Structure 1
Amino acid sequence: MLSVLIETHNNEEALARTLASLIGAAVEGVVREVIVCDRGSTDHTHRIADQAGCQYLAEGGIAAGVRQAKGDWLLLIEPGARLVEGWTEEVLEHASRTTGPARFSRARADRSPFLARVFSARRALAEGLVISRKQAAALCKSAASAEALARGLATKRLAAEIRISPPA
């Protein structure tokens, strides 16, 4: 049902934390596959992906991952981000009733004060992105990275929470 795409560059430890948060959803059959789209890592990112049973793409970036994905819906997530338990139900409900993209809500521990949010640079992929494969494929034609694909999209806010990855 859901293909998870993680774009990474020298993030082996962060990737391992993110993959651990997806195990329950894979066991339930919600996560069909995880595709790691590498951007030239020199660490052991490929070993982490291989040991976790992920598909590892060394070339082509996020566009190659979108083309290879089998799920009708994609979850794009940063390495280091962790989905909070209970997220699968919210994503399944969203996918069954709409065609538009959605983002997760930040976990309470990760919410910053209002003024800090207003004046800080925002990462478009910090809250993840749930998007149909068809829409992602159309956006990949003009987006060079997962961050670029996620930037500027009008999205619905899901009640499910995400623990964001720390800024690089």
Structure 2
Amino acid sequence: MLTVLIETRNDEEALARTLASLVGAAVEGIVRDVIVCDSGSTDQTHRVAEHAGCHYVTEGVAAGIRQAKGEWLLMLEPGARLADGWTESVIDHVSRQSMPARFSRARGERRALFTRMFSGQSALAEGLVIRKGQAVALSKSAASAEAVARGLASRRLEAEIRVAEPRRK
């Protein structure tokens, strides 16, 4: 049903946290496959992906999107963790809607509108559920998962996400 796509670069610990939040959905058959699109990691990111049974690609996010087996993609940042019960909200959305959707921030992480507008947050901070066909079309002119998600109109899911910590430069 869903392919999870995670773009990484030296994110071994963050990737492990994200993958742990997907285990239940994989066991239930909701997550069909996980693709880790790596952009030059020098740490053990590839080992984390391999041990978890993920597909590991280094050809960019467009290649990862094309390899996806699911009709819908769930794009996440490494380190993001989905709250229990997220699968029901996603299943409901994909059965009724065709437009993209994003998760709601966990209650303790919600920020005021003014703060959100000027924070420069990642377009993937709240994840993205998107049809594969739309993602393929957007990835033709986008060099990253962030660029695919940027500026995209979306619905808000009831399910919550704990956003990834900001990356250190």
- TM bin, normalised by shorter chain, reads over 0.9
| Equivalent AA in structure 2 for residue 52 of structure 1 | A
In the TM superposition, what whole-angstrom CA distance separates every residue of 1:59-91 from its partner, at most 9, and x where no partner exists? x21101110000000000000000000000110
* Structure 1 portions without partners, runs of 5+: none
What's the counterpart of residue 114 of structure 2? 115
The separation in 1 between residues aligned to 2:92 and 2:118, in whole angstroms, is 33
What value does the CA root-mean-square deviation take over the aligned residues? Answer: 0.8
Instruction: State the number of aligned residues.
Output: 167
1:93 is matched with: 92
Amino acid at match of 1:9: R
Report the counterpart of residue 166 of structure 1 in structure 2: 165
Question: How far apart are the structure 2 equivalents of 1:67 and 1:133?
Answer: 8
Amino acid at match of 1:17: R
Match for residue 139 of structure 1? 138
Partner residue, 1:33:
33
2:13 alignment partner in structure 1: 13
Q: Name the CA distance, whole Å, in 2 between partners of 1:26 and 1:45.
A: 20
Whole-angstrom distance in 2 between the partners of 1:151 and 1:133 = 16
The alignment partner of 1:144 has SS state of: coil
Taking the aligned partners of 2:118 and 2:141, their CA distance within structure 1 comes to 28
Residue in structure 2 matched with residue 47 of structure 1 by the alignment:
47
Deviates more, 1:125-134 or 1:106-115: 106-115
Instruction: Give the TM-score taking structure 1 as reference length.
Output: 0.97
TM-score, normalised via structure 2 length: 0.97
